[in-house]
Structure 1
Amino acid sequence: MNISNNSYVEIHYALYDESNEVVDGSRGGEPLPYIQGKGNIIPGLEQALAGRAEGEKFTVTIEPAQGYGERDVEKVSIIDRESFAGFDSIEVGMLCQIEAENGEPQLVTLIAIDEEEVTIDANHPFAGQTLNFEVEVMTVREATEAELRDGIVG
C-alpha cells in the first residue's frame, strides 16, 4: 500500500542541520505516527511521503516555507523577569510554556536574560531553517475510523 490521504503512517526520521548534525529524530525510540493529509507533520515532509511505500528510505531537503516557516521578528518580545518568579532557574536557550495574550499556552525560547527583563522568541526553533531529513517508512495502512475522528492518541 502506498501513502495517500487518510493513511496511517509510521516513520523513523533524522533531521540534520546545515552543518550535518542531527538535531531531531526518532531513531533509538518509537517511530513517529501520523495520518497523511491531516496536517500532522510539516507540509514539505507530508508531500515527500505521498506515494511512498512501507520499507522505503529516502532523503529530502525542505525549505522554510514548506517547513516551520520563516522567522517572524514580531514573535520576539521582552517581558518582565518577574514573570519567571515561579521557576527554580532560567537560562538562555531554555524552552518554556507561557500563557499567550489569548490565554492559550505558547512555547517560547528564552534568547536573552538580564536583571529586569527576559527576551522571548515564539518562533518554532527550526523556523527559517532549511531542513534535511533522512526518512524510513515503517508502516502504512488505512487509518481506522477512530484515528480519523480523534487523531492519533499516544
Structure 2
Amino acid sequence: MNKVTVGEGTRVHLNFSISLEDGSEVDTNFGDESVSFVVGDGSLLPGFERLLFGMSPGERQMFVVSPENAFGQPNDDNVQTVSRDQFDDDIDLQIGLVYAFNDAGGGELPGMIISFDDDEVSVDFNHPLSGRTILFDVLIHRVEPAELH
C-alpha cells in the first residue's frame, strides 16, 4: 500500500507554528490538538500549502517563506485617510490601534491607525504581516484522501 503524501485531493492533519525572523511567535498549535484542512479549501495560503506537497505523516520541516509567498508586500494604496468624524467620540484613538471597519459586502475589515489629528485619521489596511519573512514550522500527523462533497 502506498503512503499518501500531501497533495491535491488530500486532507492533512498537522501542527504548525508561524514565527518572524527574530524568533517571535505569531501563532502556533503545537501543544494542542492537530488541525486539519483539505488542500485547496482556502484554509491555508497557497504559498504555505505548496510547501507541504510531498510531505508524509511523521515529517517535520521548517520553511522560510518570503513575503511574496506569505502575506504579500505592503501596498501604499491600502493606506487610506478617513475623516475623524467617522469615529465615535468615545473612541480613544491611538497609533497601533486595530479598528474594525464595515466593508462594502457587510463584513468587517480591520485597519490599523497609523496617524491622526483632529480632522483626519490615516488607516493601514495592509495585513499586519505583509512585508515580513515568515518561519513556518510544520509537523504532519496524518494525510488521507479528502472526501469530496
What's the TM-score once normalised by structure 2's chain length? 0.83
Q: CA deviation at 1:127?
A: 0.9
Q: CA deviation at 1:87?
A: 6.3
Deviation at 1:80, TM superposition (A): 1.7
**Which residue of structure 2 aligns with residue 150 of structure 1?**
none
- In terms of mean alpha carbon deviation, does 9-18 or 118-127 score higher? 9-18
The gaps in structure 1 that reach 5 residues or longer are 147-154
Partner amino acid, structure 1, of 2:63: V
Query: Shift of the alpha carbon at 1:25?
Result: 2.0
Deviations 1:28-82 (A, max 9, x none): 4443432113343122211110111222111001111111111101100111222
CA RMSD of aligned residues (A): 2.2
> 2: distance between equivalents of 1:86 and 1:46?
44
Equivalent of 1:22 in 25, 29, 34: 25
Cα 1:12/1:91, change in 2 over 3 Å: farther
Which deviates the most, 126-135 or 108-117?
A: 108-117
Greater gyration radius:
2
- Between the two proteins, the alignment pairs up a number of residues equal to 146
**Match of residue 93, structure 1, among 72, 76, 96:** 96
3-state SS, counterpart of residue 141 of structure 2 = strand
| Structure 1 residue aligned with 2:11 | 8
Quick one: distance in 2 between partners of 1:138 and 1:37?
18
| Deviations, residues 90-119 of structure 1 (Å, cap 9, x unaligned) | 432232321235655322222223333221
2:116 matches 1:113: yes
TM-score, normalised on structure 1? Answer: 0.80
The runs of 5 or more residues in structure 2 that have no matched partner are: none
Amino acid at match of 1:111: I
